[in-house]
Structures are given as C-alpha cells and as structure tokens.
Structure 1
Amino acid sequence: MHIMTDSSITSLDKDKARHQWLEQQVQHLLIATEHELRARGPLGLSELDLIRALQGERWQLLGEVNFTEPDQLYPVHFLLFHTLYRLRDQLAETNETLLISPLRLTLLPVAQRPETTLPASEDKLRAFYLDLSQYFMSNGDIQDMMDNFWAGLPPERPDMDDAALAAETLGFEALPETFTAVKQGFRRQIMRAHPDRGGSTEEVQKLNEAFSVLKAHYA
C-alpha cells in the first residue's frame, strides 16, 4: 500500500488549488466571452479582438501579453480556447453553435452551421483544449509544439471562409494562386506592422495567425 507523505500531500494540495483557481477563471471567462460574442452578432470577432476585450476595463480578466513570446501567449490562448469549447458544448443545449478559429469566433443558430467541418480534427482539438492539464505545459514542450508546426505540421485545412479572411488580413483582395505569393505578401505586411515602424506586437500576432491559416490551406 502506498503511504502518503507530507510532501506528496502538499503537492496534491497545490495541484488541487491550481485547478480550482483555473476553474474559477474559466467560469468568469464563460460569462464574459458569451457576452462579447453576442454583442458582435453574426460578424463575430477574432481571437485577438476577444483577448483585447477580456483585458479591457469592463472585464479585466486577462493581463498584458507579449505576443512575440510563445511561453507567455500559450497559457492565454489555451485558457481562452478551453473556455470556447466549454461554451460551445453549453450552447448546443439551446440549439446554438460556436464557430471556432483564431481569425473568427462566431455564435450562430445550429441551422446556419456550415457543413464543411471536419469531425475527426474537431474531436482532437476539443479533447486537447478541454484537458486543463495542458495549461501547465512546460516551456520546452510549448517550444517543441511550435517547432513541429513550423516544420510542416500545421492544423487541418481551414474552410474557404477562414482562408479568404486570412488573405484579406494579409492585404489580398482574393485568395492568391500560390503560397509563394502569400509569403511575399506576409513579409510586406510584417515589415509595415513592425513596432519600429509604428506598428504593434498585436498587429504582428494577427498577421502570424493569418499566415498560419493560409499555410494550412496551401499544404
């Protein structure tokens, strides 16, 4: 029989306290996120817009984020998407659904839900984000995940609406014919948005998100 030591009890207490704190945060985020989504209506908002709203004076639920540092961005991104998937499950009970992607978060009646979703990939993403233990991923694991992505392991192919929105974010009027054109447009926009030229790290993050969507689209 395993005997519990003082140190193991302390460790369990700390884990319990951390998860209780996280759950409390999620409950606040569920209320605020649903409010913001309903306020935006069918146009929805981006992940970045939602982060800004939750940082704002009304809610003050998120602190400042350095969008260029993955180890600082990941906990905020994860907690937000955990909340979004929880909210989507709740909304299903009222015949509503939530379209989830970094570039567009939209609350819709179930009847208006597009038929282009990929159940297998959705299940994997949902399982990942609903596992709160993933919030505590180490900096090394976060970096490995980022390295795997840039090495050519992007998420599943986005739908055409998300791809078109990403192209618009990078300054295109329509989807370019080649990924080479996307990379050229991305470089131009990144140079323009650099903080040294009057841009901001938030704008750079939005461009990075758009580029990642198009990278998956052309993969």
Structure 2
Amino acid sequence: MTIPAGIQRSEDTPGTADAEHNWLQQQVQHLLVAVEHELRAAGPAGLSELELIRALQSERWGLIGAVDFHEPDRLYPVHFLLFHTLYCLRDQIAAEGESLTISPLRLSIHPQNPGATSSSLPESADKLRAFYLDLSQYFLSDTAIHEMMDNFWSGSLPSRPGSADAAAAGRALGFDELPRQFATVKQRFRKLVMRAHPDRGGDTGEVQQLNQAFSVLKAHYA
C-alpha cells in the first residue's frame, strides 16, 4: 500500500493488512487530539474543513502534508481520515452531553439540544456515519474515488442541506442573508472563483471551498 503524500506517515512502512490498519488507528488517535483541540479553540463558530486541514498542517501539529485539491485520489485519503476522526469524536463527546456538527463548511462542538439525553448517539441508519467509520473505505480504488468525488463536486448531494449548512455556505460566498434568487448566487460564485483562481495569484484551497459552498447552495435552491 502507498500512503498518500497528503498524510504524513511513520518511518516504518506497513507491510501487511494488519500493519496498515494499525497505522491508520495510530494516525486517528493523533488526529483525535488535534481535531478536538482546534475545534474547542474555535468556539461556537467552528471551522470549515479547509480551515481545519490548514490547522493540522501547521507546525503545531504537522499531521497533514501538502494537499493537491485538484487530484481527487490525493485529496480523498486526507478527507476520509479527517471525517473518520470527526465521527469518532462525535460519538465520544455525546456521552458528555455535547454534539458535533459535521459538514465540509462547518465543524463545531456545541451542547446537545434541550431534551437530548447524554447517551444519545447518531442512529445506526446514518449512512454517512457508517461509511466514514468503516476504515476499509480508506482503500477505495482510484476509479471509485474519482467517481465519488465527481458526484460530490457536481452537487449530487444525498439530501437537501439543513438551514445551518445553507447559511454557512452563503457566508462562504459573502452573503449575510441568502438571496431570493439562485441567479444571484451563481453571479457571486463566478466572480469569487475568477478572483481566487491560482492563475491570478489566488489559492486552490479557496477555490475548493467556494466549490463546496456553491454545491450546497445549488442543492438548497433545488
């Protein structure tokens, strides 16, 4: 197995399936500490996935190396391990009466809603939770990764996003309140993408975040 360049690995190269799984588990334990620290430091406003990735790339943690946002097979392992960690963390803090909002645009720890019990955990029917908690999904083929990522970035979301996710996506595009017409969103998105394009001195990570926000809003207005 080749560990993607985006995730730093130990000096010992895994040589068996068990060793690979053990390495992933160790990586998750490091990520759990770092992710919880960064989310608690961010407070109720939370962080976007991009902001969290950059925090984990910092000298403080050094857990994620360079990420090529234009290469799905390089981005996927980073994204998967990060979201696997987030779902593990969400299950852990549920016993303490806390919840974790998990969305590419907003990741935040907050108290559970009034009336929720401290033992409340996400339902087993949560397909996203089941997918990300299955470490075997880390080893998807390049073909499967490209197909899945193409569906995601084209806006093929499984359901209409919640109001909080839509509002967060709107803020990512500079809207204090969501406009009535989707055409306004498209116009703003095009301007921001042109301004953020690497050929104009922009940042590929910023373009990726704009794409995420636009995909969420496209599903919202649909």
TM-score class, shorter? 0.7 to 0.9
Structure 1 segments, 4+ long, off by >6 Å, are 119-122
Corresponding residue to 1:175 among 161, 166, 178 = 178
Which one-letter code corresponds to 2:159 in the other structure?
Answer: E
1:98-145 Cα distance to aligned partner (Å, 9 max, x none): 01101111101113699xxxx789701100100111111111101111
User: Cα distance, 1:92 vs. partner?
Assistant: 0.8
Structural mapping, 1:13-162, within 5 Å: 14-111=16-113, 123-149=126-152, 153-162=156-165
* Aligned counterparts of 2:55 and 2:150: Cα–Cα separation in 1: 29
Q: TM-score, normalised by structure 2?
A: 0.84
1:37-80 Cα distance to aligned partner (Å, 9 max, x none): 11111111111111001111011011110112111111111100
Q: Which structure's CA Rg is the greater one?
A: 1
Distance 1:71 1:110, change over 3 A: same
Identity of aligned residues (%): 67
Residue matched to 1:7: none
* 2:178 is the alignment partner of 1:187: no
Which one-letter code corresponds to 2:156 in the other structure?
Answer: L
Distance 1:42 1:173, change over 3 A: closer
Greater share of helix residues, 1 or 2?
1
* Aligned counterparts of 2:46 and 2:153: Cα–Cα separation in 1: 28
* Aligned counterparts of 1:41 and 1:152: Cα–Cα separation in 2: 29
Corresponding residue to 2:167 among 164, 167, 175 = 164
Which one-letter code corresponds to 2:146 in the other structure?
Answer: Q
Report the secondary structure of 1:189's partner residue: helix
* Aligned counterparts of 2:115 and 2:191: Cα–Cα separation in 1: 35
Report the secondary structure of 2:126's partner residue: helix
Q: How many residues align?
A: 204
Instruction: Give the unaligned 5+ runs of structure 1.
Output: 1-12
User: Cα distance, 1:148 vs. partner?
Assistant: 3.2
Residue matched to 2:5: none
* Aligned counterparts of 2:123 and 2:20: Cα–Cα separation in 1: 31
Which one-letter code corresponds to 2:47 in the other structure?
Answer: L
* Aligned counterparts of 1:79 and 1:159: Cα–Cα separation in 2: 24
Which one-letter code corresponds to 1:37 in the other structure?
Answer: L
1:165-219 Cα distance to aligned partner (Å, 9 max, x none): 2112113332122333322221111000011212101111111111121122123
Which one-letter code corresponds to 2:219 in the other structure?
Answer: A
Distance 1:165 1:69, change over 3 A: same
Alignment RMSD: 2.3
* 2:206 is the alignment partner of 1:203: yes
Which one-letter code corresponds to 2:112 in the other structure?
Answer: V
Residue matched to 1:9: none
* Aligned counterparts of 2:18 and 2:43: Cα–Cα separation in 1: 37
